[in-house]
Amino acid sequence: MKEYKIRKPMKIIFSISMFFILAFCVYLILIPFSHDYNLAGIIFIVCLDVLMMTIIIMGGLSFLKRKIIIDSNSISEKGLFFTKKLDFNQIKAYMINQQYIILIPNEKELPKIKLNMMLENFEELLKEIDIENIENISFQ
């Protein structure tokens, strides 16, 4: 079993970006208290900002914790809130996006798996799934 995670430099850059975005959200929480807003306006802005911060944190953690796991006969995408699994014989084709290679299953009810191009040892991962013998449908 092999695991492929996001490259460390990308994790560092993403974490620094998240810090500045969250600092901006904290600043937005403080704005209503420096002006003369009524209580309902302050509560609305603070709740909206806390919701934004929660979505940003959960999305960031989901990105940082995502990994691809290769077993002897299957590939899995594991995130913070989900796990998708495909056997190698269930992969029909793949499609290349700007940041991902998407593995398309041969049955519609099976999940699609996204291979992020920012994964460590990405070329090795492609060799592991034998991408050269899978049909590319990116330009069809």
Residue 14 CA, chain-centre distance (Å), reads 12
What pLDDT is stored for residue 69 in this prediction?
92
The ranges assigned to domains in the chain are: 2-65, 68-136
Residue 132 CA, chain-centre distance (Å), reads 25
pTM: 0.75
pLDDT at 129 over 90: no
The end-to-end CA distance of the chain, in Å, is 33
- 140: pLDDT confidence band, cut at 50, 70 and 90? low
What pLDDT is stored for residue 128 in this prediction?
84
What pLDDT is stored for residue 75 in this prediction?
92
* Least trusted range by pLDDT, from 36-45, 52-61, 95-104, 120-129: 36-45
SS3 sequence, 41-110?
Answer: HHHHHHHHHHHHHHHHHHHHHHHHHCEEEECCCEEEEECCCCEEEEEHHHEEEEEECCCEEEEEECCCCC
pLDDT one-digit tens code per residue, 79-97: 888 899 999 889 889 898 8
φ and ψ of 77, to 5 deg: -115, 120
- 20: pLDDT confidence band, cut at 50, 70 and 90? very high
pLDDT at 51 over 90: yes
Contact at 8 Å (CB) between 118 and 76?
Answer: no
What pLDDT is stored for residue 68 in this prediction?
92
DSSP state of 39: H
What pLDDT is stored for residue 65 in this prediction?
87
Contact at 8 Å (CB) between 95 and 32?
Answer: no
